[in-house]
Copies of this chain bind each other. A is one copy, B any other.
Amino acid sequence: MLQEERQNIIINQINLHHKVLTTDLSKLLNVSLDTVRRDLHELEESGRIVKVHGGAVSKSFHIPFQQPKVYAREEKKEVAHKALSIFKDGMNVLMGGGTIMLELARIIPKNHKGTVFTVSPLVALEIAQRSNIRVILIGGEVSHDAYVCTGPTVISQLSELHVDIAFIGANGLSVKDGLTDHDWDVVQVKKALMKAADRTVVMCISEKMDISQKLVVNPLRAIEILITELSPTDKRMQKYAKTMKVL
């Protein structure tokens, strides 16, 4: 068996399973462990795979080490600042939960006037420090992980609400599935949030783009504006820019 042939098989296996064990390859290809190891080494040299102890993984599967920089905080702040440009005095605004929304809440000017509805106690507390903003917290069962109000109470209150614009965060956004999330309760709430608003602004860091979670909140067309830390001219944004405004 040719070396090249072997290495192609290895690449195929990795594409298939995202990972591969050195011992398995040895058996599969009927060559010694050393040969496999050497193959893996070459494939890594040419940057096609990532070698790990015991085998190798595909490049996409391998999450590169993120340097000690604080996790995506700066990106989120960047997103928040962009969102602030749509945040006008006198608006009736609905805000979801999550860390991005909290960043947005933090940078809202102290003298801003308006009304903010939110399902997040954290956002509510932050904004309540601004004396010219009425803060209405939509109450319900507080989820233990996301610290957001969920449940039928929230849904029914939101169904009686109508605001200009809703800001919500995203855990998954893709052209195929639209806005997606992994927690059933949260999905229900997000649906209700979007329904209650004329326009929806989705805010997320680019890391969440082209990712689909288990549950669908709404298709792409339900979103009017998308904000990420990337420039609107960035290549990754183009496929979204077709159906919505991006900034």
Copies of this chain, whole number: 2
Within 8 A of B (CB), among A119-154: 121-122, 124-125, 127-129, 131, 134-147, 149, 151, 153
Could you tell me the distance in whole angstroms from the C-beta of A114 to the nearest C-beta in chain B?
14
Could you tell me the distance in whole angstroms from the C-beta of A159 to the nearest C-beta in chain B?
14
Q: Would you call A17 and B139 a contact (CB within 8 A)?
A: no
Q: Would you call B63 and A122 a contact (CB within 8 A)?
A: yes
Cβ–Cβ < 8 Å partners of A61 in chain B = 4, 8, 99
Q: Would you call A11 and B63 a contact (CB within 8 A)?
A: yes
Q: Would you call B21 and A2 a contact (CB within 8 A)?
A: yes
Known: A2-B53, A129-B144. 14 other contacts (CB 8 A): A3-B52, A15-B171, A18-B145, A46-B65, A48-B63, A48-B66, A59-B70, A60-B72, A61-B99, A63-B122, A122-B125, A136-B151, A138-B139, A153-B157
